[in-house]
Structure 1
């Protein structure tokens, strides 16, 4: 089994997108038909999306996410190693910044 989709709903769309882009996720602005603008990135075989919350789709609550990112991709300037961060909605994000040669280990 493999995770193929993770969707976060947020009341802070741009702030969350900027946060995850700063971690090295290649989020791109998208819109499908008449649906809402949102951000999406393909991470290996997993699609990661950040959507605006609505009455029908309330903000994603407490959640902890983890990402392994090559050092060259991180915009925030953090050193290699593990970092525990909080996104604009208060979700915990564990970021492991590694040398590119170790990305799949």
Structure 2
């Protein structure tokens, strides 16, 4: 038996709306959700994996690094800047338009962005 795929990833966010804007700047289409009387949160499908943004509560997420393949890296970085994200936290090998690029989300999670080949 082996792992076939990642089903979902939950990120706990100190400021849910700020994080929503950041991830929408990456090109994700987040939808508001609430399961029963649970916390209001945002969710989207990323290549068959569900990404959910939840309020921080008492269970912080720490040490997470998420890798995403994007179709237009330069455009994603431009969109992040336009949404007010701090893209000054970009670390790259080579120029900004090359891969990989790491940005830091509003809660300190490292997001590695790679240009689709």
Aligned to 1:51: 54
Gaps of 5+ in 1: none
Counterpart secondary structure, 1:76: helix
Q: Deviations over 1:40-63 (max 9, x none)?
A: 0011210000101213xx220111
Q: Give the structure with the larger strand fraction.
A: 1
TM-score scaled by length of structure 2: 0.72
Runs of 4+ in 1 over 6 A off after TM superposition: none
RMSD of aligned alpha carbons: 2.1
What SS does the aligned partner of 2:62 have?
coil
Deviation at 1:26, TM superposition (A): 1.5
What's the counterpart of residue 69 of structure 1?
70
Structure 1 segment 4-19 matched on structure 2, within 5 A: 4-19=7-22
Give the TM-score taking structure 1 as reference length: 0.79
Name the count of aligned residue pairs: 97
Task: Give the structure with the higher percent helix.
Answer: 2
